[in-house]
Every structure is written in C-alpha cells, then in structure tokens.
Structure 1
Amino acid sequence: MSNIPETGRTPRVQIRLMVIQVLVFSLLLTLGGRLWYLQVRNGREYTDEAKSNHVQQVVQPAVRGSILDTRGVPLADNETRLVVSTSRTELMKMEDGGKAVLTRLADVLGMKPKEVMDKVRLCDSKTPQPCWNGSPYQPIPVTDEATTQQALQIRERAEDFPGVTAEPTAVRRYTAPGLANTAQVLGYLSPVTDEEITKAQDTDSPYLRSDQVGRSGLERTYDKELRGKAGVTRYEVDNLGRVIGLARSDVAVPGDHVVTSVDARVQAVAEYELNEAMKAARKEMDRNTNTHYKADSGAVVVMEAKTGRVVAMASQPTYDPNAWVGGISAKDYARLTGKKSNFPLLNRAIQGQAAPGSIFKVVSSTAAVRAGYNFNGNYPCPSSYSIGGQTFQNFESRGYGSITLGKALEVSCDTVFYGLAHKEWIKDGGLKPKKDAKNWFYTTAHLFGLGKETGIDLPNEVTGRVPDREWKQKFWEANKDGWCKQGKKGGTYIQRLAYEGCLEGNRMRAGDSVNYSIGQGDILVTPIQMATIYSAISNGGTLYNPVVGKAIVSADGKHVRKIEPKSHGKLPMNQKTRDQIDKALAAVTTTGSAAWRFGGWPQKQIPMHAKTGTAEVYGKQTTSWFASYTSDYTIVMTISQGGTGSGASGPAVRKIYEAMYGLDPKGKQDISKALMPEPRTELPKILPDGQIEAPKILPYDPPKEPLDEQTLAGPPALVTARRD
C-alpha cells in the first residue's frame, strides 16, 4: 500500500473536475448560441426555405411577340401545333419508371423508344443532349409535330397513356411572306442555358428554365421585349413529390410586337435579285483565271436615305430559321456550320468584310479636297503610275488625259487618286513620318465612320479596318514573329511577302498609300458601312445609325414606343463638296462606268446616283460592288468573287429600284405597281384583341420584258475598258 495520504490527491482531482465542467459548459453555451442563431435570428429565412422545398413551380410560357414588317405583315409569329408532352412526376410513380408508356407512345408517334426516353430524361453534367433542362414538375415536350390522328389516339386511349397529354400549343414560326426569308435579320431561338439563368437572376428580366431566347438578329436584340413574362403556378407537394394543393398562380403576360422598317415585298425582291445576280455571275468567264466566276457569297442593303431605316437586307448563302424551331437536329446543325457550308448563319451585310474598290473613291475625293486640292482642278489621268520600280495601272491601261476629280469619279480613273495619295504620303514624311503629319486620306476615312461599328440594332456587327500608320504598327507587332519564321528572301510570293513584313511590316510605304486611295490593299469595309456613307451623301451629310426596329407595340396595340433614328455624326465635307460629288455620281449612270446598265432610266423624274467598284483580292477572283442612291433610298450590293461592279451587281440593283418605283425595264412608271415609291411613315394597326391588320402579299414575279437593244448589246466602246 502506498504511504501517501488520501487527502493529497484531492486538490488535483478537483482541478480536473473543474476543467471538465468548464469545457462541458462552454460546449453547451456554444451549442445553445448556435441554436438561438438558427431558430431565432435566422429562423424565418430557414422556415421560408423549408416551405419552398415543398412548393414546386409549373411554368406556362408567355406567347412570344411577333416581328412585323413595316405594313404589319408577320415575318416571325407563332402557330398552333399539336404538342405531345409527358409528366415525369406521373411516370416516376410507375413500377417501370414509365418505360412501357413511353414505348407505346413512341409507336404511336413513329419514333424510336430510346429517342422518346432520351427526351424526357433530366439534364445534368453527365447527360448529353437530347434531355430536359427544365423543371421535372413541368410537362416535358416530346414532339411539336404530332398529327391530329396521333393526338386523337393518345386522348382516346388515355388509360394506355397516363401522364401523357396532346394539346394545341403556340410554337415560333418564320413565315417567309412572299418568299421573303429574312433569315439573318430575324435570327432564331434556342433554349436558355444555366449560365444565362444565373447571370440574369438579379436583373429585372430573369430567365426561367423553360424560356427560349434569341440567339441572333432581331430575336436577340429585342429578346426582352418579345419574350413577355411567363405564368407560374406553384403547387404544394409532399416529401414524395405528390401534389397536395395550389399555393399561388401568376398569369402569363404576352410579349410585345416589334414593328420593323423592313418591307417584306422589297425584301423578297432583294433576296431574289441577289441570288439571280450570283447565278448569272457564275456563268461568266473570268479572263484572269480562264474559269467561271465562283460568286460564292454576297449581300445587299436597301436603306431609307433620309433616316437610316433598313427597308431590306439580304445575305447569301442563307438558311431557313425554322430549322431551329423545337430544337435543331444534328444533321441540320452540321449543314449550317460545317466547313463546306460557307457559313450561312453570317449576316454578310454587317459581318462580311472586303476591300471596297472604287466605291471608296468618294472618301478619297473628300480627303483630297480637305488636303487643299480643288475639286474642279485638272489632274493627270495617265494609263499608269510608277513609284520606284513598281507600276500601278489603270484597267487595260486606259488614260483620260487631264481631268477633274468629278470626272475621275465618273470614269473611275485610278491614276488620279494614285498621284494625289502619293503627294500626300510624301508631305507626311514618307517612310519617316512627321510628328505633325496630316494623314488626310486616313483621318477622313475615320470621319466617314469607317473602322468602327455603324450602331445598327443587330448583334455582332464587325468594324472593318482603316489601315493607317497606327494599325500598321499594331499589326506588325502582332504578326512579326510569324512572318520572320515563314519569310524567305527569294522564296515563293507568300514567303517573300512574309520576309518583307518581318523586316518592315510596320512602315507605311508609298505603294500602301496609293493602293489604299482606290479602296484596295488592307482596307476592309462592310456593306452596311458603305450604305450609311452613301445615304449621308444623298441626305446632305448626316450619318445615321442604321436601324431595323421601328416601334415596340404591346400585344393589345395600346402601348407604342417608337424607335427613332439617331445620328452619329456628319460627313467631313461642306455643302459645296457634297453637291459636286453628288453631280459626279449622277454622271456615273448617264455617261460614266454604269451608263451601260442604266440606259432608259428616267433620270429627270428619279435622279439616280451610283458608283461602281471592283476590288482585287490576292488568291481570289474580284469582288463586285455597286453603291447607289436616289433622293429616297440607298442600295449597296456586293458579290464575293463575282466580277465587276457594273457587270455583276449593277443589273440587280437596277431591278430592285424598278420594283420599288414601279418602273418597267425601259423606264416607264406605273405607280400602281410600285412597291414603295416613297418611305412609309405610319405604323400598322393592332386591334385590342391582338389581331394585326396586314395585307396579304404574293411572291415576287420578276418582269419578263427584255431590256432595250443597246443595254443587251453590252457597254459602249467608251467604257469597255472600265473594270468597275
């Protein structure tokens, strides 16, 4: 036995007991505090969350607003289709998870059982499309193309199809009135993504999982207005997911209508004539390559000159936006996006970039005047212009002697602009630019709005490019390493270019400036930019933001918000210069490079102004451009690898004007046949019950009467040498 007294242990035991008591008390205090925080401080929050766990939402999608043309003709609306849907909640109650029901449903719909089952499964990170990305408590659509017979079978044999419904439902439709496809302008819809839902959840227009959202065109720009507000019915459910009551119901609010300035009849004409011009170009031989022109893509813009409103906009190749309705198939998606498709989803009117050729000369003429050159002064137009060891030619080496800037525009003389641009390059310091260099030819292009977006109300517009000294430096810095790696002195043409670029790609050479002055080289523009410029020349100098939307109108027609045209500046020219350029462009169609395409045009009644352009692109055939305007409208057309401006695009542009003004090929006007002799200002009428008063239109029927003998015979000898 130990000799230590019992009392010697007592203090240490007591201390240990006290420590344990303090520890237990602290833990109890912490636990109590946490319980107070959860039950008292944040009790309501967690109570609400607990309640929401037993409330599930069923969404009734809002009817999407229509997109209307300027007279109220629907370009995009909704049609009633028989939609077959399934209730996942009901299917999950079945022993086999609804497999037998879905198999019978597939047999009725003429689908494969797996196809149906895939459509009703829920999406997650491991489940590929097709799958359902919405609420599992919402009816899941299997098809929106059910026939009446199929719907009757499902409804009459309800006992064989528990949880399956076949109901009429509004589905998006792109109507193509009068065969006016308008695909790239309208855009298309597709289901909302999780990322978009998260991003929009704190905004005033959050997405629901059932929403279809605009992916391009007007559907995207005006998605918020068109979408409306979905109705939501909230059901109380038990812990097994069974509905036990109705919590709350919000009625759906239909989307607004978007009225556009597009006229479906003119749109149909523009699409048809662009396509016909491309087909005609493919029949013509390119004498530079001894092959037919490829004419692989093109675009046309028809615009109100005084407002910037777009009357028609077509792009080729095109597509049917209905392919996206109800979800695009893998086959159609590959067809629209594959390498061989030539990218029909692109709107080449606002996304197609190319060198403008001679239609750029209105910019160069203005730059020359700003630099101090007299518009009516005399400037040599020889057959060629030499700089060092390089010679720049007029087409087929034709010279016109000493001419004015106006005449240079009329006959499209390149060498006049070569000479002026070369002089200004020297004044600016040449290869060693001065600090105070004026750079008139480049700064003027920027003031015309080139090198930046026009501000049109369509998404994904591109900026084009003005290749000034600043751009040269940045481009060189970005590409120097690649050029130096690829370049080779005395190698192939591409290798020699890369070699020169590596050494001095940042230097503005004389050849760069003279080539740029006639719209060649590194400059890039879009059709919408050039339409904006030529509209400004027509209206006296105001540069408008092009606009397709004309008004937002509520579904009942009671509330109207007009979309007014906005200006982003003035042309950098005075009224005198504008009038001089205007006169020269009128002469282009009477005695100049486009005269052979406008024989018989009623110039006194409807003065026509135009500029032809043919841009050369290394490794490709020439790009055709035709820019024109009257006092009412501007039309710009371009065809990639299509040949000359007057040869390929000119005739099509004339036919569009003829349809709008009611002219026959000989220039005689019948106003009753005119589609749009003047811009339309009034809005279509929408009745309180939602009905839209709109005329019916027929497909465009091109005139069959042949052109006069002189036009059919081709250009007169005076202008056969002009490439434009």
Structure 2
Amino acid sequence: MAPQRLAGRSGRLRLVVIQALVFSLFATLFARLYFLQVVDGAEYHAQATSQSVREIVVQPQRGLIVDDQGRPLVTNRLSWVVAVDRTMLGKMTERQQEILLERVGGVVGVKVPRIQRQLDTWNGSPYQPVPIASDVAQRVALRILEQPEDYPGIVVDQQSVRAYPEPYGVNLAHVLGYLSPITEGELDQAEERDDESVNGASSVGRAGVEKQYDRFLRGMPGYKSVAVDSMGRVLGDDGEVEGEPGDTLVTSIDAKVQSVVEQQLLERMRYQRTQRDPVTGRNYVADSGAAIVMEADTGRIVAMASQPTYDPGVWVGGISKKQLDRLYSDAAGTPLLARATQGQFAPGSTWKPFMTAGALTHGYSTDTVLNCSSALRVGNRDFKNYESGAYGYIGFAKALEVSCNTFFYRIGLDYWQRYGSDVADVDAKDPLVSEAKEFGFGQETGIDLPGEASGRIADRQWKRDYYESMKGYYCKISNKPQDADTSDFVYLFAHEFCAEGYAYRAGDAVNFAIGQGDTLVTPLQLARAYAAIANGGTLYAPRVAKAIVSPDGEVVRRIAPKPVGEVDVPEQTLEYIDSALKGVAANPSGTMNWKLQGFPLDDVVIRAKTGSAEVHGKQTTGWVASYTDDYVVVMMISQGGTGSGSVGEGIRKVWETLYGIDGMDVDPDRAAIPGVTPPERLPTFMQDGTILPPARQED
C-alpha cells in the first residue's frame, strides 16, 4: 500500500505544478494583453490607423502662358493616365507581376521593359501610383476601370497636362519650351532648400519660358490622404490639403505677328530650295533659319521663330526614344536647337554699320572717300567685291548702300598696318574689334530664355587660344606623311596651322571688317545691336516676359525692360549711320531696294542692311537686318543665298503686317497689333477665368 500512496502523492504534486505553470502563463498573457490594450492601447491604435492611411501628392494646375493680348499660348487639359500601384504589385508573385504588366502594357500600347524602367526609376512616394501611359484613349481607360479583377493594382484617373492652342497656327516651340519629370538630383536639391513646390511626381520646365519662369508656373502641390486595406487597395478619402495653381505668365509675344513671321520664314526657306545656286550649280540647301521682331525702344520680343522646329506636344506624357533621337538628329537639322538664340552664324555685310561706327570714332570722318574697287590685294590673295562690282571712290553712306566690301577691307587693313602688324601681339589695338564688343557682340544678350549662345569675336586673343587648343591635332597631321584619308587641303592647312596658326594676319583683319572669317553672331545679338542704332545707343537685355499674374488675376510681378549698357558712339555718328541705312532701302542702288518696290517708304521709313556670308564648304548664308522707329526685324537663312534674294520678300511681308500696309496704302486699323505698337497695359483677367485684351489707352 505504501508504494501506491507514494505514487498518488507524486501524481497530485505534478498536477499542481502543471496547474501553477498554466496559471502563470495565463497570468502573463493577460498582463501583456492588459498592457497592450489599456496602458499602450492608444499609441498602438494610432500606429495602426496611420498604417491604413497613405498620403498621395495632388499635382497643381500649372500656370498659363499668354501673349500680349491675352491669347493662350500654353494651357492645360485633362488626360487619362494609367498608373501602377507598386505596393500592390509587391504583394504578387513574380509570375503574377509578369502577367499583369503584359496585360496592361498590351492594352495601353507600352512594352513591358519600358514599364519596368519607369517603375524602377520612379522618384515619387512609394505609395504614389507610377504613371506608365498618358493620353490613353477613353475607351481603353474605361475598359480597365470596368474590369478591376483583370487589372489589380492598376490605377486610372484623369490628370492635367500641357496643351497648345496655337492661336493663328503659331508653333513657338523654342520660346515656350517643354516639361519633363524631375530628376533625383533635382529633387535632392529642392529638399535641401526646403522647396515644397516640387516632389517626386513633379514635371519641371526644361527649356524656354517653361524653364525660365518655372517657379512661378509650377504652383504648390496639394496632398490627399486615402484609407487602404491590408492589400493596399484604396477604400476611400481620409482628407485633402488643397494645392495652389501656378501663376500666369504674360509675354510680349504677339500671336498674330508670330504667325506671319513663322510662315514667312518657312515659305522663304522652301522657295529657296527650288532655286539654283550659281556658285555650286545645285539648289540651295536652306537648312536652317531664324527671324526676330523686337521693340526698338524696349528690347521686348514681339516674335521669334527658328527653323527647323518641332511640335512641343511631343513631350506631353513622356517622349519616346525615337522622337528624342530625331530632335537631336543632324539629318533632321537638330530641331531642338533654337537658331534665333543658339544658332551662331557669320554676319556678312550686316556687320558693316558697326564697323562704320568704329571707323568714324577712330580717325575716319563722314567726308572720307575710299576706292570701292572690284578687288583688293592683301598679301598674295585678292579679296573681291560681290560679283567683282566696282563703284570708284565713295564715302561711308554709299559703301553701306551698295555694300562695298573693298571699302571696308581698306579700313581693316589700315588699322592692322597701323596698330597690329606684329602678328604675335595679342594686345595690339584694334578699333573695329573694340567697336564690335561695344555693341554687345561676343557675349550673351541676357535674354530671359535659357541656353543662349555667346557668339564669337575672332580677335587676336581668340586666335591664340584656338591655336593652343588645336595645335596638337594639326601638328600631328603635318608631322607625318600624307595618307589617303587626308585631302590636300587639310594637309596643307595642318602644315600652315602648326607653323603659325597663332598669327593674326592682314587677311584676318580685312575679313573681320566685313563680317567674314571666324566671327559668329546669333540673330538675337544682331537684332539687339540694330535696336541700339535705332534707339540712340541703348543696349537692352531682351525680354519675352512682361508680367506674372496670380490665379485670381492680381499682378504679382511686372517684368520691365532692362537696359544693360550704352554704346560709346556720338549721337551724330548714329544719326549718320541711320541715314545711310535708309538709302539701302530707298535708293535705287540700295541692296534692299529691289524688294521694296511699291512699298510706302515715305510713310513707313525702313532702314535696312543686307548680308551674304560665305562659309567654307557651304552655300551662302543670307541676312536682312531692318528697323523703323518702332521695331527691328531680322531674318536669315543658312545656305539660302544672298540676303535680299533669300529673305527680302519675307522681311517686306512682316513690315506690311506690322503697319497694316496694302500696296501703297497704310491703314493702322489693319495692323496686326491694335494701335500698331505693342500695348503697355496687360490683358484683363476676369473672375470667371476669361482673359480680355488690354484696354486701349486714351490719346
């Protein structure tokens, strides 16, 4: 019996121990539950709530861009956008992801590798759906919306994108610019500046006024909180912070004038391509061109066109690689390059008025006469007049009127002989170079558009610098026997360059005097310099923008004309040049006169200068620079032939548009701009969003 009692006690003891352990476990569990639910319950509830609410950026409406009359140049429109929720995608198997992306890619017309790249490079919030297709057809968007079971994690909604109303058919791509998604580096910089106006889903200006005035146009984004379930599906809105739409940019561009300028430039280029070049024996290439209309007294840009151009709408919703390659393609003429501000060309005879100013302020006088012979020998080379014409002994006014090269060759040679015959002296005095710089050539004009080119003054210092940078290349060619891949010209040039490429010779000086050689200008620089002659000597930083206006119609900022310098030329000298340039247009021997037959020059007094710049290996670049008391109009075509021959008719049509000219009749009521000259006042912005033209000022 004793062993049995002992065994019973032992069993009960084990039971008690087990019961104690179970009780202690339950006690610990209950204590923990009490701690979690009562002591820290509020904190954990808040965390759980926050995990089910996600913040999504709501992009603001970007500001409008309008012309001087309030006509919209850039607006916004709604676009169906298909996006992928990466959170939902991450909860799928790899095979499920492949099937989903193939399905949605097939519907929206985007290949899976491209979708994957967009997902991998997304800069925005991880909870923000990643856009993979914009401007999706409504039927496609509705198909996805109506079949959510086939497209889990695919979000379809309407977003605001840029639209181009094209008043009067204008293109204006190089002035307006375009947008593209913000980069990771830009986003990091914005965060360092505490700039809350951009985020990972932002698109920012990349060119034109879209870039220059991006901070005004972009607005301030809003934020929307959405409740989601455990699978990341949106259950509903949980609150929203309203964004602020961007400001409106009022420009000095006039769409009606811009339309005529664009049409004339394109028509003249197309026409020249049908004409035979007597020098090369083949049709003109007319590969690029530019045209500018500028207010003479303010530097404001009324119209600006470049060819070739492109459709700014190609950037909306993301540009394809094929489209981007074309914009940079040499075969397509690099359409992305704005010739008006970024193209650099030899100015030819349009350069001569500034050389006249240099000569008349450095020893020559209006009574000076020089021989306009058919050629001038410099060293062992004859520098010729156009078509070897000769006019005998003439003064500056006649030299400008008939565009005599040898007249200006003699001036350039005279200064070189007096001050610079030491070919290695980079500091030698050169009045013509100094005058070119006085008129702002060789440096950016300061226009409110990004990416402006500076042009080039090919003076002694430039030639020395160029020699230092290139002598290794050319000396390598000249120091070895000529091979089959090196032409005789290149081999001879390399030998001469290696030996004395730094030398600024008499030939360089005479070429400089007529805008030939290595000197380059942009069409905008030339327009600005002619405006300085027209307005009495003031150089302006050209302006496209006139004002920033808030969404409620209040003027945030006026953008006034910006004078940046005065040319150091006596008033009487500028008046003499002005009078001479009238002769280019009005006198029978003037090089622009034949294009202005039957034009009311007594009522609309045009001053002009033509230019035909010869470029090695290419056809002639044609220029016409012209102005009145109100405007400067410049047009040029690369490889288009002589100045007046290539663009003279286009220049005339622009002047007829500006002043309302029909034959010999001048009717201000027919002028493109009401009142003939651009309005000082801004468009009127109504509360309902309507934009009215500026109110006419009382006389």
User: Which TM-score band (shorter chain)?
Assistant: 0.7 to 0.9
- For residue 339 of structure 1, the aligned residue among 301, 326, 330 is 330
Deviation of 1:396 after TM superposition, in Å, equals: 2.0
Partner of 2:566: 570
Partner of 1:316: 307
Question: Would the alpha carbon gap of residues 315 and 100 (structure 1) be closer, same or farther in structure 2, given more than 3 Å must change?
Answer: same
Per-residue displacement from partner, 1:538-559 (whole Å, max 9, x unpaired)? 1111111111011111111123
Partner of 1:34: none
Mark the runs of 5 or more structure 1 residues left unpaired by the alignment: 1-47, 125-131, 696-724
Q: Is the 8 A contact 1:428 1:434 kept in 2?
A: no
Question: Would the alpha carbon gap of residues 436 and 622 (structure 1) be closer, same or farther in structure 2, given more than 3 Å must change?
Answer: closer
SS in 1 for 2:368: coil
Deviation of 1:142 after TM superposition, in Å, equals: 3.7
- For residue 675 of structure 1, the aligned residue among 662, 672, 676 is 672
Question: More displaced, 459-468 or 168-177?
Answer: 168-177
- For residue 134 of structure 1, the aligned residue among 116, 121, 124 is 124
Q: Is the 8 A contact 2:420 2:429 kept in 1?
A: no
- For residue 299 of structure 1, the aligned residue among 284, 287, 290 is 290
Deviation of 1:512 after TM superposition, in Å, equals: 0.5
Partner of 1:636: 634
SS in 2 for 1:340: coil
1:515 partnered with 2:511: yes
Give the TM-score, by structure 2 length. Answer: 0.86
1:228 partnered with 2:226: no
Partner of 2:396: 405
- For residue 617 of structure 2, the aligned residue among 605, 616, 619 is 619
Distance in 1 separating the partners of 2:231 and 2:100: 21
Per-residue displacement from partner, 1:678-712 (whole Å, max 9, x unpaired)? 122221122234443369xxxxxxxxxxxxxxxxx
Distance in 2 separating the partners of 1:226 and 1:147: 28
Question: Would the alpha carbon gap of residues 478 and 49 (structure 1) be closer, same or farther in structure 2, given more than 3 Å must change?
Answer: farther
Counterpart AA for 2:541:
N
Partner of 1:472: 463
1:693 partnered with 2:692: yes
Partner of 1:554: 550
Deviation of 1:90 after TM superposition, in Å, equals: 3.9
Partner of 1:168: 158
Partner of 2:540: 544
SS in 1 for 2:655: helix
Q: CA RMSD in A?
A: 2.8
Deviation of 1:492 after TM superposition, in Å, equals: 1.6
Question: Would the alpha carbon gap of residues 494 and 53 (structure 1) be closer, same or farther in structure 2, given more than 3 Å must change?
Answer: farther
1:595 partnered with 2:586: no
Which residues of 2 match residues 490-509 of structure 1 at below 5 A? 492-509=488-505
1:610 partnered with 2:624: no
Partner of 2:375: 384
Question: Would the alpha carbon gap of residues 60 and 604 (structure 1) be closer, same or farther in structure 2, given more than 3 Å must change?
Answer: same
Distance in 2 separating the partners of 1:245 and 1:450: 62
Question: Would the alpha carbon gap of residues 239 and 166 (structure 1) be closer, same or farther in structure 2, given more than 3 Å must change?
Answer: closer
Deviation of 1:149 after TM superposition, in Å, equals: 3.2
Distance in 2 separating the partners of 1:582 and 1:231: 56
SS in 1 for 2:546: strand
Partner of 2:42: none
Per-residue displacement from partner, 1:571-611 (whole Å, max 9, x unpaired)? 23111001000000010011111110011221121100100
1:198 partnered with 2:188: yes
Distance in 2 separating the partners of 1:50 and 1:377: 92
Question: Would the alpha carbon gap of residues 394 and 112 (structure 1) be closer, same or farther in structure 2, given more than 3 Å must change?
Answer: closer
Q: Is the 8 A contact 1:597 1:646 kept in 2?
A: yes
SS in 2 for 1:201: helix
- For residue 649 of structure 1, the aligned residue among 644, 647, 650 is 647
Deviation of 1:145 after TM superposition, in Å, equals: 2.3
Deviation of 1:391 after TM superposition, in Å, equals: 1.1
Partner of 1:84: 82
Deviation of 1:158 after TM superposition, in Å, equals: 4.7
Question: Would the alpha carbon gap of residues 113 and 647 (structure 1) be closer, same or farther in structure 2, given more than 3 Å must change?
Answer: closer
Partner of 2:139: 149
Q: Is the 8 A contact 1:183 1:320 kept in 2?
A: yes
SS in 1 for 2:542: coil
Question: More displaced, 224-233 or 620-629?
Answer: 224-233
Question: More displaced, 651-660 or 527-536?
Answer: 651-660
Question: Would the alpha carbon gap of residues 469 and 568 (structure 1) be closer, same or farther in structure 2, given more than 3 Å must change?
Answer: same
1:209 partnered with 2:200: yes
Distance in 1 separating the partners of 2:416 and 2:680: 47
- For residue 418 of structure 1, the aligned residue among 395, 409, 413 is 409
Per-residue displacement from partner, 1:297-319 (whole Å, max 9, x unpaired)? 11111111110000111111110
Q: Is the 8 A contact 2:624 2:636 kept in 1?
A: yes
Give the TM-score, by structure 1 length. Answer: 0.83
Q: Is the 8 A contact 1:122 1:133 kept in 2?
A: no
Deviation of 1:377 after TM superposition, in Å, equals: 2.0
Partner of 1:447: 438
- For residue 280 of structure 1, the aligned residue among 271, 289, 293 is 271
Deviation of 1:450 after TM superposition, in Å, equals: 0.5
